[in-house]
């Protein structure tokens, strides 16, 4: 009887082998090779991997084997080991320490043991009075900040009584038409002690101005108040489409808020550059990152032209 050659001494090289990925462009350890040949291969032979969803040519390869990927089509291996690390891998270069670049282990040296991240629920509906009650409930039950959801007319710069607002008032967020509405929204909430995020873009400068007046009326020190306005107009043109003005005037308003904030509200974030809207509009993960990062570059360039190097 002819002796079969050892698969350990001759690792699978054929493209249609279900365990070939273990050996392609990698140098697996002897232990990983043994696992692939003695444990993985018999398992796959007994129960072949199944493509997710109906076979389309995207989730199966040319040999009919399941191709498992991210939703952007990036292949996902069954197992990741040291054989997948870069040839020049070092803990100091690629991993580092908490609180230091490249921040792989987080931006804080002690994680969140010293200071918890802000916990806030995106909330806003119907009238300012009803949303104010909700905010007080959230703060009384453990919330450490607020996140304001505005309705569509507010996002588009319309008053609630405008004909274009019909059927949308208070639906996907709170309706804010005036300074009085903003005062009601934050009635009884100390804005010097409560960090507030506002998801608002095209009319961000107007809504933020209302917010600052409310804080001022409360006696709050602008230099102590903290929070964020989204104010990311570029992603509106790319994805969400809730823009009002042409790009150049819109960008001028964004930079106006940068300049004002750098002088009068140093603890308030005057922009939150967003990416997930782009992904939800149909981009791949790579496109999402590319557009988002370059949006940030563009905001910096506009700010530099305004002479805000110190702010950056």
pLDDT at 75 (0 to 100): 86
Domain assignment present for residue 285? The answer is: no
Closest CA to 191 of 210, 170, 173: 210
Mean of the pLDDT values across residues 51-80?
81
Domain shared by 174 and 68, yes or no:
no
Number of compact structural domains in the chain: 2
Q: Which residue has the tokens 């990741």?
A: 80
Domain assignment present for residue 232? The answer is: yes
Do 105 and 98 meet the contact criterion of CB atoms below 8 Å apart?
yes
Query: pLDDT grade, residue 68 (50/70/90)?
Result: confident
Do 245 and 217 meet the contact criterion of CB atoms below 8 Å apart?
no
Domain assignment present for residue 72? The answer is: yes
As a whole number of Å, the CA-based R_g of the chain is 27
The residues that bridge with 201 in the sheet, in sequence order, are: none
Domain shared by 261 and 141, yes or no:
yes
Inform me whether the pLDDT recorded for 13 exceeds 60: no
Domain shared by 86 and 126, yes or no:
no
- pLDDT single digits (tens) 146-193: 999 999 999 999 999 999 999 999 999 999 999 999 999 999 999 999
Domain shared by 159 and 197, yes or no:
yes
pLDDT at 312 (0 to 100): 62
Domain assignment present for residue 303? The answer is: no
Note down the domain range covering 79: 20-93
Domain shared by 127 and 87, yes or no:
no
Query: pLDDT grade, residue 61 (50/70/90)?
Result: confident
Domain shared by 260 and 168, yes or no:
yes
Tokens coding 108: 């804080």
**Which ranges of the chain does DSSP label H, i.e. alpha helix?**
30-34, 41-46, 128-140, 152-155, 179-185, 204-218, 234-235, 247-264, 276-280, 285-305
Domain shared by 136 and 249, yes or no:
yes
pLDDT at 12 (0 to 100): 45
Domain shared by 46 and 166, yes or no:
no
pLDDT at 7 (0 to 100): 43
- pLDDT single digits (tens) 202-213: 999 999 999 999
Rounded CA gap, 37 and 10, in Å? Answer: 11
Domain shared by 166 and 231, yes or no:
yes
Do 236 and 281 meet the contact criterion of CB atoms below 8 Å apart?
no
Domain shared by 127 and 259, yes or no:
yes
Tell me which of 87 and 198 has the higher pLDDT. Answer: 198
- Arithmetic mean of pLDDT over the chain: 91
Rounded CA gap, 301 and 257, in Å? Answer: 15
Q: Which residue has the tokens 């629920």?
A: 121
């Amino acid at each position: 009887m002819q002796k079969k050659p050892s698969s350990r001494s001759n690792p699978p090289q054929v493209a249609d082998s279900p365990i070939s990925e273990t050996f392609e462009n990698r140098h697996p350890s002897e232990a990983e090779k043994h696992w692939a040949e003695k444990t993985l291969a018999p398992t796959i032979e007994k129960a072949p991997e199944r493509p997710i969803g109906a076979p389309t040519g995207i989730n199966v390869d040319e040999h009919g084997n399941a191709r498992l990927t991210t939703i952007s089509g990036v292949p996902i291996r069954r197992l990741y080991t040291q054989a997948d690390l870069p040839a020049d891998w070092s803990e100091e270069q690629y991993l580092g320490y908490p609180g230091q670049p490249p921040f792989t282990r987080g931006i804080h040296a002690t994680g969140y043991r010293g200071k918890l991240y802000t916990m806030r629920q995106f909330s806003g509906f119907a009238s300012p009075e009803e949303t104010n009650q909700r905010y007080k409930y959230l703060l009384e039950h453990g919330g450490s900040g607020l996140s304001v959801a505005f309705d569509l007319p507010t996002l588009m710069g319309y008053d609630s009584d405008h004909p274009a607002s019909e059927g949308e008032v208070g639906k996907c967020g709170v309706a804010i038409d005036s300074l009085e509405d903003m005062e009601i929204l934050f009635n009884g909430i100390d804005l010097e002690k409560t960090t507030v995020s506002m998801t608002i873009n095209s009319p961000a400068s107007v809504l933020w101005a209302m917010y600052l007046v409310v804080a001022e009326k409360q006696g709050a020190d602008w230099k102590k108040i903290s929070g964020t306005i989204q104010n990311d107009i570029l992603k509106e043109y790319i994805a969400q489409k809730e823009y009002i003005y042409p790009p150049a005037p819109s960008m001028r308003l964004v930079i106006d808020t940068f300049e004002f904030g750098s002088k009068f509200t140093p603890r308030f974030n005057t922009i939150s550059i967003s990416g997930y809207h782009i992904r939800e509009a149909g981009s791949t993960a790579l496109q999402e990152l590319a557009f988002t990062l370059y949006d940030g570059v563009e905001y910096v360039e506009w700010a530099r032209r305004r002479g805000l190097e110190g702010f950056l």
